[in-house]
Amino acid sequence: MKKAFSILYADTEILAVDKPAGVLAVPDHWDPDVPVAREMLSKDFGRLLPVHRIDKDTTGVLVYARNERAHRELNERFATRQVEKTYFAIVHGEPEGEAWEVELSLRADGDRDHRTIIDASKGKPSKTRFEVVERFRGFALVRALPETGRTHQIRVHLAASSLRIVADPLYGDGAPLMLSALKRRWKGDVYEERPLMARTALHAARIAFQHPTGGAMLEIEAPLPRDFRATLAQLRKLRP
């Protein structure tokens, strides 16, 4: 199945795309048959060098460097926390406060399911700030502002906050969100019903950093995808 990419920004140094769900940022030996964004895009843009990753089912802003110099400069910016990142997540549960921080040591591939685990002795420091954007009955839309970039960081930090991202198969129940589960008097055919959200409800909405050569501040944004918008439209009918 062909995946469509919207080009968010492109010059001789950088390519930024709006990655669809179901595509890897770079090859992964756990999912050898899954399409890879870098390989798909290189047909039109030439050699692409990764500077960060977003998960297979996460949608939104994905940035590649287009030459070695840009790659070095962007890697340095990511490593020294000179990059601002904003994500949106739809979660099960009701956050206790309107804003909070999670700071934990995380170790990637820490169990037999290849999950990232909390490990105070062997893990790497991680920090995410969270803000509640909207509340619904039994759900919430949360803004995540990660200050570090550990594997699955936002997903683990939300789980540690007793908030599971909708349809997350690793840190939640993985169950698709169905309209029939939200509407008390739903009258459709359960055998033909399609999920509102069938993948981890996480979207990389914005990234901002200094251009590796020009020095200007770049701010790149990706709009919410269709499944995200449709889910929010239904949840807004479930105000607390």
Domains located in the chain, CATH noted: 6-235 (3.30.2350.10)
pLDDT at res. 234? 94
pLDDT of residue 188: 66
pLDDT of residue 1: 44
Q: Do the Cβ atoms of 84 and 227 come closer than 8 Å?
A: no
Tell me, yes or no, if 173 is annotated catalytic: no
**Cα diameter, the chain:** 59
3-state secondary structure of 71: helix
| Alpha carbon distance 2, 90 (integer Å) | 26
Q: Write down the catalytic residue from 18, 55, 57, 168.
A: 55
Binned average pLDDT, 10 residues per bin, the chain of 240 residues = 82 97 88 90 95 96 97 94 97 96 96 93 97 96 97 97 97 94 72 88 98 92 97 88
pLDDT at residue 32, rounded to an integer:
79
pLDDT of res. 190 = 59
